[in-house]
Amino acid sequence: MKHSRHSLIELTMARLKEFWREKEIVFWVFCFPVLLSVALGLAFRGQSEVLIRVAVLDVEGAAELAKSLDEHESIDCFLLTEAESVVQLRNGDVVMLVVPGNPHSYRYDPTRTESSFARLLVDDALQRGAGRQDLLLGKDDYVEQVGSRYIDFLIPGLLGLNIMGSGMWGVGFAVVSMRAGKLLKRFLASPMRKSDFLLSFLLSRLVFLLPEVICILGAGYLIFGVEIQGSILSVLLVALVGCIAFSGLGLLCGTRIKTVEGAQGMLNLVMLPMWIFSGVFFSTKNFPEFMQPVLKFLPLTALNDAIRAIMLDGASLASTAGGLMIVVAWGVIPFFVALKIFRWN
Amino acid sequence: MDLGYNPMKLPVCSIRKEILLNQDDVVIRCRGLVKRYGDVTAVDGLDLEVLRGECFGLLGPNGAGKTTTTEILEGLLPADDGDVTVQGLRWGESDAELRQQLGIQLQETLLPAKLTVTEVLRLFRSFYHNGHAVQEILDTVELNEKKDAWVSKLSGGQKQRLAIGCALVSEPDILFLDEPTTGLDPQARRKVWEIVEKFKSGGKTVLLTTHYMEEAERLSDRVAIVDHGKVIALGSPRDLIGRLGGEDVVEFSVEKGVRLPDAGDLESLTGVQSVLIQDEMVRLSVAKVHLAVPALLEKLAETGAQLSMLTTHHATLEDVFVALTGRHLREA
Ligand SMILES: Nc1ncnc2c1ncn2[C@@H]1O[C@H](COP(=O)(O)OP(=O)(O)OP(=O)(O)O)[C@@H](O)[C@H]1O
Ligand SMILES: [Mg+2]
């Protein structure tokens, strides 16, 4: 008759150990979002560093023209033959071709913003080169607003995405694989309290939430200098609400499915639309007006909006309450439905 | 007669059974159990009573309904019809109480692969009010050397012993074992048997499901032979084998195209108790194999039949099953 620890603690410890010992899961939860943010952050780094690529048709006198254009800080200029220029214009390797002559002619696709911009830039450079004087003087006043870069937009989205993924997989998938291995049935055959079992999933998710948040926000800060305008505590609380919500939703997804393949299908079915429609990688404003009300009520959209409001706009926790209610509803309702229809064997 | 097993064991068991039968201490009772899956009737009006302190074996071929019956008794499956009491309690009324008293090993459970043996035992121990220390179970199921190994790194036999350990950790009154040794090699099987025997020697009850007749014969005080969801024979292994009428079985077949002697002729041979002719194969249940075989050979020589095969063995529960159903327990 030995004293033993409470089953809730044992169940939670078991979940934590299983999670930690599964190296693949650790990769997806901790390394993948960081790698993704690095990759996307590099691909979409500040536009000012980008050079406009234009070409000059390689005829007599073209070399000097090209050289003078290439000296411009925002222009990268090449000499191309007629044949090469056709291909490169089509591929977008260069966005405009200058055909030297009198007058020079500019060959470009006016529906492409970048090409139209190149035309203005090149024309301006050539006019100045020919000695034009500016009649009006303009002064540049660059907007250096914090949180306006793509990476600033991306990091909160990745945080939301990660909270969704680890909650849904961590609960939904785990429950189904236990059912598939008849472990749930074995638990049912013991006097284990079901509430302890379900609570252990939530607790283990919460334990891992903090390192997840630190990992993503830390990488964003250290690599890209993404800062949190609002309070860190508010971000953590929103993350907590999101974590609970997606654990509930994950549980619902896993209530009745019998095979791990079925679970994968189900979870992807639920999560993939949110990868696209919830403003993770680009704003939901890109979708037509009539879709907006629907998109706004997706759990991940509501979560991302709340995280961004706090991180980028420095909003208070109270001002995100509306969105958080949506997130909470997505967690609580599925949780109780799941309890009703849960299958142990 | 000696069945060839541990000679110390049989008398002890039968004595305990006598005492308990008198007390009529029934720990599991089910009446008219029925379970259907669509068109399939997995359990078809099954009755059984398990007495305190005995090892009760359910022996039957694949699909006989053993697991279904066991899981109904364990309160894991609802029956379509019939009545079940365990320790005098009913499922649906006293579940929490019952769960504390039972130790259950399911036919197939994948225990958490990435937990160690100790961690799994500690987890299961935490579900129960009372029970053994984890270390005691490690000793009982002989997994001390593997106590820090992940479940995924265990051999089949070790996994099975861990599953039994999880069932024993609560010091249960009744142990349910569903095919505890299927798929194990003979040595691993013997280890499992020793664990069960040790548990039973503490006066505890075991309900064992198997389709190995050696296992049923060695471990069980009483055996119910189950086929198509019904109990078709019930008794101690000795009684059941005894009902064949002979202690040995002679099987033979003759070259094709030669007429066999009549069943009646065979039955009248010295020492032969009963005859079963199945296709080409003849099985004789014999009391005195040293007399019966010469008599048989003489008879065959008379009719001019050439033997193509002849074997003899001590009668087993397998022979009981064949005599009852004309089929083997495990279709090869
Ligand atoms: N969940 C189920 N759905 C449909 N049919 C089932 C189900 N479970 C069992 N059966 C059927 O019920 C019958 C009895 O199955 P059961 O598992 O009880 O047999 P068993 O005696 O334990 O066999 P085995 O020795 O193979 O374990 C079989 O015909 C089986 O196909
Ligand atoms: Mg079975």
Q: Which atom of ligand 1 is nearest to the CA of B66?
A: 21
Give the pairing of strands B281-286 and B248-254: antiparallel
| B68 inside domain | yes
Same domain? For B223 and B252 the reply is no
What pLDDT score does B24 carry? 59
Q: Indicate whether B284 and B173 sit together in one domain.
A: no
Provide mean pLDDT across the span A335-341.
Answer: 90
Q: B66 pLDDT exceeds 90?
A: yes
Determine the average pLDDT of the residues in B242-249.
85
Counting from 1 in the atom list of ligand 1, the atom nearest the Cα of B68 is: 18
- Domain check: are B179 and B83 in the same one? yes
Which ligand approaches the C-alpha of residue B64 most closely?
1
DSSP string, B40-87: EEEEEEEEEEEETT-EEEEE--TTSSHHHHHHHHTTSS--SEEEEEET
Nearest residue in A to B163, CA atom: A186
Asked if pLDDT for residue B92 goes beyond 60, the answer is yes
- Contacts B122 to A, Cβ<8 Å: 4-5, 10
Give the span between the Cα atoms of A256 and A234, in whole angstroms.
Answer: 35
Task: Identify whether B18 is part of a domain.
Answer: no
Q: Are residues B46 and B176 in the same domain?
A: yes
Confidence of residue A57 (pLDDT cuts 50, 70, 90): very high
Ligand 2 centroid to B20 CA: how many Å? 28
pLDDT (0 to 100) of residue A47: 53
Quote the DSSP letter at residue B89. B
Determine the pLDDT at residue A3: 45
B108 and B70 together in one domain:
yes
- Chain A: residue nearest B99 by CA? A191
pLDDT of residue B11: 37
Longest dimension (CA), chain B: 73
Question: Domain boundary at B217, B241, B265, which?
Answer: B241
Residues of B in contact with A192 (CB under 8 A): 127
List the beta bridge partners of residue B5.
none
DSSP H or E run through A125: helix A113-129
Counting ligand 1 atoms within 8 A of each CB, the residue from B40, B76, B330 with the most, and so the one to mutate, is B40
Nearest CA to ligand 1 atom 29: B63
Q: Which residues of B touch A10 (CB under 8 A)?
A: 122-123, 126
Query: Which residue among B75, B106, B126 places its CB closest to the CB of A186?
Result: B106
Taking the C-alpha atoms of residue B240 and residue B242, their distance in angstroms, rounded to an integer, is 5
**How confident is the model over A136-172, as pLDDT tens digits?**
888 877 765 667 788 899 999 999 999 999 999 999 9
Helices (H) and strands (E) in chain A, counts: 15, 4
Q: Which pair of structure tokens corresponds to residue A254?
A: 């896993």
- B153 and B281: one domain? no
Whole-angstrom CA distances from A196 to A193, A199, B111 are 5, 5, 18
- Tell me the pLDDT tens digit for each residue of B145-196: 999 999 999 999 999 999 999 999 999 999 999 999 988 989 999 999 999 9
- Closest atom of ligand 1 relative to the B65 alpha carbon: 18
Q: What is the pLDDT of residue A4?
A: 57
Of B241, B264, B280, which residue sits at a domain end?
B241
Which has the minimum average pLDDT: A115-119, A304-308, B299-303?
A: B299-303
Give the pLDDT band (50/70/90) at residue B10: very low
- Which ligand 1 atom sits closest to the C-alpha of B71? 18
How many angstroms does the Cα of residue A279 sit away from the middle of ligand 1?
Answer: 49
Q: Identify the CA nearest to A57 among candidates A85, A38, A34, A36.
A: A85
- Whether residue B111 is contained in a domain is answered as yes
Structural domain boundaries of chain A? 2-43+149-341, 53-142
**Span of A49-63, B146-160, B224-238 with lowest mean pLDDT:** A49-63
Range in A244-258, B91-105, B179-193, B271-285 the model is least confident about:
B271-285
The average pLDDT across A223-247 equals 93
Question: In this structure, are B35 and B177 located in the same domain?
Answer: yes
Name the residue among A22, A186, A192 with its Cβ closest to that of B114.
A22
| B281 and B230 housed in the same domain | no
| E strands in A58-150 | 75-80, 96-99, 105-107
pTM: 0.81
Q: How many CA atoms lie within 13 A of B91 on its CB side?
A: 18
Q: Average per-residue pLDDT in chain B?
A: 88
CATH assignment of the domain containing B232: 3.40.50.300
At B269, which CATH number? 3.30.70.980
Distance (angstroms) between ligand 1 centre and the Cα of B189 equals 23
Question: Do B232 and B261 belong to one domain?
Answer: no
Total CB pairs under 8 A between chain A and B: 78
Q: What is the pLDDT of residue B18?
A: 47
Which of these three, B208, B241, B274, is where a domain ends? Answer: B241
Question: Is residue B328 domain-resident?
Answer: no
Reported as a single tens digit per residue, the pLDDT across A280-330 is 998 998 899 999 999 999 999 999 999 999 999 899 999 999 999 999 999
Separation of CA B208 and ligand 1 centre (Å) = 16
Domain that holds residue B289: 246-314
Tell me what pLDDT residue A46 has: 59
Which residue has a Cα nearest atom 4 of ligand 1? B37
Higher pLDDT among residues B198 and A1, named by residue: B198
C-beta atoms of A4 and B123 within 8 A? no
Which residue is closest to B119 within chain A, CA to CA? A14
Asked if residue B218 and residue B72 are part of one domain, the reply reads: yes
Strands A96-99 and B26-37: unpaired
Q: How far is the CA of B61 from the centre of ligand 2 (A)?
A: 9
CA of A247 vs chain B CAs: smallest distance (Å): 20
Residue position matching structure tokens 């000097």: A64
Q: Is A97 helix (H, G, I), strand (E, B) or coil?
A: strand
Q: Which segment of A19-28, A143-152, A188-197 scores lowest on mean pLDDT? A: A143-152
Q: How many domains does chain B have?
A: 2
Please indicate, yes or no, whether residues B225 and B254 belong to a single structural domain of this protein.
no
In angstroms, how far is the first alpha carbon of chain A from the final one? Answer: 31
Angstrom distances, CA of residue B168 to CA of A310, B171, B178, B182: 53, 5, 14, 19
Across A87-91, A295-299, B170-174, B301-305, least confident range: B301-305
**Is B274 in the same domain as B210?**
no
B79 lies in some domain: yes
Residue with tokens 């799941």: A338
Q: List, as one string, the DSSP characters of B96-129.
A: HHHHHHEEEE-SS----TTSBHHHHHHHHHTT-S
